Amino acid sequence: MVSLANVFAPFVQVDIMDGVFVPTVSVRAEGLQRQDIRFAWEAHLMVAHPLPHLESFRRAGASRIIFHVEAEDEAALVILQARSLGLGVGVALNPPTPVGAIESFISAVDSVLLMTVYPGYYGAPFVPDVMKKVSLVRALRPDIEIGVDGGIKEGNLPDVVGYGVDTVCVGSAVFGQPDPAASFVRLSDLARMSGAR
């Protein structure tokens, strides 16, 4: 994936899965450190305990970490430690998690990532009801960056953008296609035409 993304992607969100928080295991920070990464990137930590991972992903070159509010480590501690390392911080919510779960610390993070799939499986189906959370997050903090992640493809991208999100994370709609670079350009153009900020 890294060599492909180096060709066309200015920014990438790298999914980190521990086999505990989600059933799959993915790349580790040490593996990323050995890669020739030419794009800016953030680490989406789908892990039960984000705290032990922060320093290693900073060393690997991540500009921001996104942790899950459902993780076992206390959110305030994750935010404090990430900030002390000079990292940006975002928080992710799984589909069943209410927006109220982040209300007490939303002012301390840079972004909110709404999972539009049940995480852990590449190509999982889109959960459209999650899009209702966008307006709830905006009501809590109008200026925050809101992203959505999972199950987003050419067919539903315009509708997703229409909810007023700032970023859209795609995986299989790019890397699962015969020509990932062309798919990336096509989806980027479609997002801009649909009014993405």
Model pLDDT for residues 163-192, shown as the tens digit of each residue: 999 999 998 888 888 898 999 999 999 988
In this prediction, residue 2 has a pLDDT band, given cuts at 50, 70 and 90, of low
pLDDT at 167: 94
Instruction: Compute the average pLDDT of residues 118-132.
Output: 87
pLDDT at 103: 98
Q: Report the distance separating Cα 191 and Cα 194, nearest Å.
A: 5
Lowest mean pLDDT among 57-66, 127-136, 187-196: 187-196
For residue 80, pLDDT beyond 80:
yes
Task: Indicate which residue of 36, 110, 129, 149 is catalytic.
Answer: 149
For residue 89, pLDDT beyond 80:
yes
Instruction: Compute the average pLDDT of residues 137-163.
Output: 96
pLDDT at 1: 62
For residue 197, pLDDT beyond 60:
no
pLDDT at 4: 67
In this prediction, residue 21 has a pLDDT band, given cuts at 50, 70 and 90, of very high
Contact between residue 115 and residue 93 where contact means Cβ atoms under 8 Å apart: yes
* Catalytic residue list contains 15: yes
In this prediction, residue 196 has a pLDDT band, given cuts at 50, 70 and 90, of low
Domain count, the chain: 1
Q: Does pTM surpass 0.85?
A: yes
What's the one-letter identity of residue 61?
G
Instruction: Compute the average pLDDT of residues 142-155.
Output: 95
What CATH number has the domain bearing residue 68? 3.20.20.70
* Catalytic residue list contains 149: yes
Domain boundaries, position 74: 2-193
pLDDT at 30: 82
DSSP secondary structure letters along the chain:
-HHHHHHH-SEEEEEEEBSSSSS-B---HHHHHTS---SEEEEEEESS--GGGHHHHHHHT-SEEEEETTSSS-HHHHHHHHHHTT-EEEEEE-TTS-GGGGTTTGGG-SEEEEESS-SSSTTPPP-GGGGGHHHHHHHH-TTSEEEEESS--TTTHHHHHTTT-SEEE-SHHHHTSSSHHHHHHHHHHHHHHTT--
